[in-house]
């Protein structure tokens, strides 16, 4: 019984953390002249830094929460904001690979989840789908 996780790549989380630190730096460097009695950074710089910092932090939290765990027959989809969903490979009717190489899973003609091509271990997941003879449709450009 093989188990693995499909997760967002660490490079994306690194870029988001970098953006958060840039926002913090913008706030600090905008406030420094004010602290020493000089005219300097404006209120707009502080708000822009705060916006960058907060949005990147919230995206990091959402990205770290999203995960698909495969343990043998059991698939657990943990969404960023929605409730966790559990299913088995038998619940998957078919899959489709879109124009941007995203993988969509369907059950009873309803889309379950869309998985981006950059997700870690997606190749293993597609291999298991093929081994289990789950139909994979490829969308072509018109």
Q: Determine the Cα–Cα distance for residues 63 and 53; give it in Å rounded to an integer.
A: 15
The residue extents of the domains of the chain are 3-65, 70-137
Q: Is the pTM of this model over 0.95?
A: no
Compute CA 134 distance to the chain's CA centroid, rounded to the nearest angstrom. Answer: 25
pLDDT tens column, 55-108: 999 999 999 999 999 998 899 999 988 899 999 999 999 999 998 889 999 998
Phi, psi for residue 4 in degrees, rounded to 5:
-160, 165
Non-local (6+) Cβ contacts of 11 within 8 A are none
pLDDT at 74: 92
Q: Is 4 exposed, middle or buried (0-12, 13-18, 19+ CB in 10 A)?
A: middle
Is the pLDDT confidence value at 31 over 90?
no
pLDDT on residue 19: 95
CATH architecture of 70-137: Beta Barrel (2.40)
Residue 36: both structure tokens together: 């020493």
Instruction: Identify which of 71, 141, 81, 77 has the alpha carbon closest to the alpha carbon of residue 111.
Output: 77
What is the C-alpha to C-alpha distance for residues 29 and 13, in angstroms, rounded to an integer?
A: 24
Between CA 30 and CA 43 the distance in angstroms is 8
Task: Note the pLDDT of residue 70.
Answer: 93
């Amino acid at each position: 019984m093989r188990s693995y996780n499909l997760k967002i790549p660490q490079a994306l989380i690194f870029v988001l953390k970098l953006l958060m630190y840039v926002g913090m730096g913008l706030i600090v460097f905008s406030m420094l002249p004010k602290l020493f009695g000089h005219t300097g950074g404006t209120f707009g710089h502080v708000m822009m830094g705060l916006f960058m910092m907060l949005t990147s932090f919230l995206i990091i939290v959402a990205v770290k929460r999203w995960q698909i765990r495969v343990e043998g027959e059991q698939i657990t989809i943990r969404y960023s904001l929605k409730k966790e969903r559990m299913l088995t490979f038998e619940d998957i009717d078919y899959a489709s690979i879109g124009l941007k190489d995203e993988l969509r899973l369907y059950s009873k003609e309803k889309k379950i989840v869309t998985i981006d091509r950059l997700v870690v271990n997606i190749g293993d997941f597609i291999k298991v789908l093929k081994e289990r003879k789950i139909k994979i449709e490829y969308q072509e450009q018109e």
